[in-house]
Structure 1
Amino acid sequence: MTLQAAQALLDQALQAMADRRWGAAMDQLDRAIALAPGQAALHTNLALVLDEMGEPQSAMEHLSIALDVDPAQPLVHLNLGVLAARTGALALAEQANRYAIQLQTSLAAAWSNLGSLLDNTHRAPEAEACLRHALTLEPRNASARFNLACLLLRDGRYAEAWPLWETRDWPVHQALPWSCPRWRGERLEGMRVLVVQDAGLGDTIQFARYLRGLRRLGASRIDLICQAPLQALMQQLQDVHTVWNWADSAQALNCAPWDVWIPVMSLAAYPDGQDTTALEPRPYLKPTECRKEVWKSRLSPTQKDQRLRICLVAQGNPDFPHDAQRSIRDLEVLAPLQSVSDIEWIHLRGKSVSRGFDAEEPAWELGDLVDTAGLLACVDLLICVDTAIAHLAGAMGIPCWLLLPDYLCDWRWQRRGTQSAWYASMRLFRQVTPGDWASVVNQVNDALQAPGSVDAIRSLRLPQTSA
């Protein structure tokens, strides 16, 4: 009778989960577990609910209970590995994926997840072997193809990587308000091309460099749809006829005279993406003169030639999936930088702009990214974590020191080294171990105080031009 009651509650919980009523599902599963605590299925489903409700640690506890009841569950090990990797329990994540593979050697998802984890913990050869084995098991497995693309991109193996990159999770493809076909690399003689934003602001900025290649392929007109904060900035691109954003009406977009369309990051997969001139160190974005003059008037002139004006950005968008790895949440770790003399600090937190290193009250609020570009044009150096402003500085040729995490460092910064393959004005500072921002700050501190640092920083600035 008790097991029947628990099963009835599980059935109700499953229906609530299907309807995304997570609170109701959790209530039903809690009641079921009270009746039958030794039923593994109750704990695995509660783990799914807890994860959806933003409680991954509690979810992991219930997956562990389910495995205590029945350890021969490859999918439960797989799910535990996913949550462990997400919460930074890397040893547990690796162990869970290896257990899943041991129990079910044909489980492509476990091979893919293990490969991604190994890639992000500096074991690329074994990672590549795992990912290729996953694709042997399931050649069209999107996760394995994407993870292998990231590995290859980190290694600079672009020709192999870009076709696989097409399996990425592109967020705006579900309901497209235009009817023209997608471009697949054919000649564009006389064609009108619509290029569409990708997931992040930084993605769109980085891959805007490829727009000029469409002209070389014969496009007669290039239009761009991008995120609203980028619209005014992208209007500075010489090769672009019209820049739209997603706020524009679907009817207006559907009436526009395009022959083909393509996501902006997909441009790299076609002929110009194999051309190393796309990585030429010339800037392709610039601020408007009026916004630049606004910031020049706001910021006091530097007192002498040896005084640097540095813009600091320590945190990115908190909603970004890997923000816990890339952002510096404890700003006290930056304190050593305050001891460096002859620096005027401009601190950005979101849209707030503050004078000084640790000012409590913002002096100004930023508008769109043209406004941000105007501010960057008035500083000697940007020091920042991996967020969109780094791409903006790189695309403008502004000196940028980029602070990078050890675990889940983005593929575009490759595996090692201090130079960026994408931006000539950028210098990379890397964590030595996961979460160790203190070592990064010490590297930056040493670089700022090195003999000749002022001239070295200013020499990184490239002439600002349009694409």
Structure 2
Amino acid sequence: MHRQMSQAHVEQLLRGAVALHQQGRLDEAAAAYGEVISQAPETLAAHSNLGSLLRQLDRLEEAERHLRRAAELAPGHPTPLGNLGHLLRWTGRYGEAAEVLEAALALDPGNGELATNLGAACLGLGRWADGWRLFAQREATTKARQKGFGFPMWQGEPLAGRSVFIWQEQGYGDQIQAARFVSGLKSAGAGRVTLAPPRPLVRLFATLDGVDEILPCDPGEAIVVPPHDVWTLPFALPQHLGVTLKTLTNQPYLAAPEAARRRWAGWPEGEVGFVWHGNPAQPVERYRGLPSPDLLEPLRGLARLVDLQAPRGDFADTAAIVEQLDLVITTDTAMAHLAGALGAPCWLMLPALGADWRWALEPSRSPWYPSMRIFRQRAAGDWADVVEAMRQALASGGRRSAEAVRRP
């Protein structure tokens, strides 16, 4: 009877901890989960939930310890392994993350979220054949399938003159990054190629090689898609086109339209443009963005800075401005991809936590954009070292020696 009452008491404590967790009272919930574990050390839910909660609080070493314990307590269950793998990737430990996520996916082969996370880990490691195949199971693919375009999804079979419709996915920066693959469709034998980007990208994407038609479509907007032979997503292209690190396009593939160049000729009242944060609605932005543009103040004595944070027209207009600058400094935003796609010198500021897979291959350079230099945080949340490194680079004339490879 005492044992049953003890178990009932533990379950009551666990329900209380979960309630606090759901209410967002994280510190109290953490203490409550700790109390559960102190009374019943093998309570799987307490270790799993506490690990996830501590990750939210950036108490990462403690989080890892509890997530590993949860995985030990449920060796045949994929969820604890998946949570651990996500944490490892979040902290930049891609090799360990891939190993853990492979084990999780083996337990649940049809889990699209696990496959996507493993795909991202493989891409970060340069294992692109595996990475693109697994990344194809991301949520964007599922949503696009549900739209039902009325013609089949391209699975990589020979195109032989067939028409291809490319639907949009993810954010502006992702779409700019993936736009480099579009020209490969013509080389692979495609006939008519149609893009459907959001309106802010339409004029910029009109400068892409290999595009026959552009259908503007903002998120949530209804669109009538003319019949095509097949449809695909931008990040499905590297898998089906067999893109590798060796064949990755390393030349500029976008340019400002002439009309935008005429409109903005001579506008920038500075030499170095900067963007200090992205979309605040994105949870990851609290790691990626600077808390204030004032942190860049040490650079002002070395260059005339121009704040590019506020939009000035669409991406074609922004491209025309960027083309006139000596250098762009930015956090992980669409601006980084735009500058890189233009071949403009760009310095990218990256956080210690949550840096994306596309920046994982090299510490200071990017195979995606030869004109880019990466400055990484040494400690989570501390941008001082990043700004100081950029200050020293500016002082030594670094912006004039950037590897700009602008598109003619």
Please give the TM-score of this superposition, normalised by the length of structure 1. Answer: 0.79
2:167 paired with 1:196: yes
1:102 is aligned to 2:67:
no
User: Of residues 53, 75, 91 in structure 2, which corresponds to 1:83?
Assistant: 53
Structure 2: gaps of 5 or more residues = 1-8
Secondary structure of 2:144's counterpart equals coil
Q: What's the CA shift for 1:221? A: 0.5
Counterpart position of 1:412:
358
Post-superposition shift, 1:62? 5.3
Deviation larger for 182-191 or 137-146: 137-146
Shift of 1:65: 5.5
| Secondary structure of residue in 1 paired with 2:86 | helix
Q: Distance in 1 between matches of 2:17 and 2:198?
A: 39
Segment drifting more, 241-250 vs 280-289: 241-250
Task: Tell me which residue corresponds to 2:401.
Answer: 456
Matched, 1:229 2:200: yes
Deviation for aligned residue 1:428: 0.8
Q: 1:131·1:144 contact (CA, 8 Å) conserved in 2?
A: yes
- Alpha-carbon displacement from aligned partner over 1:347-366 (angstroms, at most 9, x marks no partner): 12242xxxxxxxxxxxxxx1
Q: Report whether the alignment pairs 1:335 with 2:297.
A: yes
How far off is 1:96 after superposition?
1.9
- Give me the whole-angstrom Cα distance separating, in 2, the residues matched to 1:390 and 1:313: 9
- Residue 425 in structure 1 maps to residue 371 in structure 2: yes
State how many pairs are aligned.
398
Quick one: which amino acid aligns to residue 155 of structure 2? R
Show CA shifts across 1:224-280 (max 9, x none): 112222122112223111212334964622xx0211101111111113424733x23
Please name the residue that 1:239 is paired with.
210
SS of the residue 1:184 aligns to: coil
Structure 1 residues 454 and 124 mapped into 2: Cα distance closer, same or farther (>3 Å)? closer
SS in 1 for 2:271: strand
* 2:304 match: secondary structure: strand
Is residue 2:156 matched to residue 1:185? Answer: yes
Give yes or no for contact 1:40–1:67 (8 Å, CA) kept in 2.
no
Q: Which 5+ residue runs of structure 1 have no aligned equivalent?
A: 1-35, 301-307, 352-365
| Structure 2 residue identity aligned to 1:93 | A
1:385 is aligned to 331
1:58–1:70 Cα change, 3 Å: same
How many Å separate the matches in 2 of 1:442 and 1:70?
Answer: 49
Give the aligned partner of residue 296 of structure 1.
265
What amino acid is the match of 1:230?
L
User: 2: distance between equivalents of 1:48 and 1:260?
Assistant: 46
8 Å contact from structure 2 (residues 278, 285) kept in 1 = yes
**Matched ranges for 1:13-412 at <5 A:** 39-40=12-13, 42-47=15-20, 49-51=22-24, 60=30, 63-64=33-34, 67=37, 70-170=40-140, 172-173=143-144, 175-176=146-147, 178-247=149-218, 250=222, 252-253=224-225, 256-274=226-244, 276-277=246-247, 279-300=248-269, 309-340=271-302, 343-351=303-311, 366-412=312-358
CA distance in 2 between partners of 1:297 and 1:37 (Å):
70
CA–CA distance in structure 2, aligned partners of residues 332 and 345 of structure 1? 12
Letter in 2 for 1:79: N
Question: What SS is found at the alignment partner of 2:195?
Answer: strand
| 8 Å Cα contact 2:44-2:70 kept in structure 1 | yes
Deviating beyond 6 angstroms after TM superposition, the runs of 4 or more aligned structure 1 residues are: none
Which residue does the alignment assign to 1:437?
A: 383
Mark the CA change 1:330 to 1:299 in structure 2 (over 3 Å): closer, same or farther: closer
Q: For the Cα contact (< 8 Å) 1:210–1:272, is it kept in 2?
A: no
TM-score by length of 2: 0.89
Counterpart AA for 1:264: P
CA distance 1:97–1:275, change in 2 (3 Å): closer
Shift of 1:61: 5.2
Q: CA 1:227–1:72 in 2, change beyond 3 Å: closer, same or farther?
A: farther
- Separation (CA, whole Å) in 1 of partners of 2:105 and 2:10: 38
Amino acid across the alignment from 2:230: V
- Structure 2: how far apart are the matches of 1:197 and 1:64? 45
CA pair 315-257 structure 1, distance change in 2 beyond 3 A:
same
Name the amino acid aligned to 2:208. Answer: L
Mapped partners of 2:328, 2:155: distance in 1:
37
CA contact (8 A) 1:312 1:382 kept: yes
Distance change >3 Å, CA 131–CA 262, structure 1 → 2: same
The 3-state SS of whatever aligns with 1:95 is helix
Deviates more, 1:426-435 or 1:286-295: 286-295
Q: Displacement of 1:389 after TM fit?
A: 0.8
User: What SS does structure 1 have at the residue aligned with 2:61?
Assistant: helix
- Tell me, yes or no, if the aligned pair for 2:252 and 2:343 is still in contact at 8 Å: yes
Q: Indicate if the aligned counterparts of 1:309 and 1:346 stay in contact, CA closer than 8 A.
A: yes
Residue by residue, what CA displacement relative to the aligned partner does 1:133-175 show, whole Å, maximum 9, x if unpaired? 2123222333332222222211211112110111222184374
Residue identity (%): 33
Higher deviation after alignment, 386-395 or 109-118: 109-118
| Secondary structure, aligned partner of 1:276 | coil
* CA-atom RMSD in angstroms: 2.5
The structure that has the greater radius of gyration is 1
Distance 2:186 2:101 in 1: 36
Q: Is 2:20–2:28's contact at 8 Å kept on the other side of the alignment?
A: yes
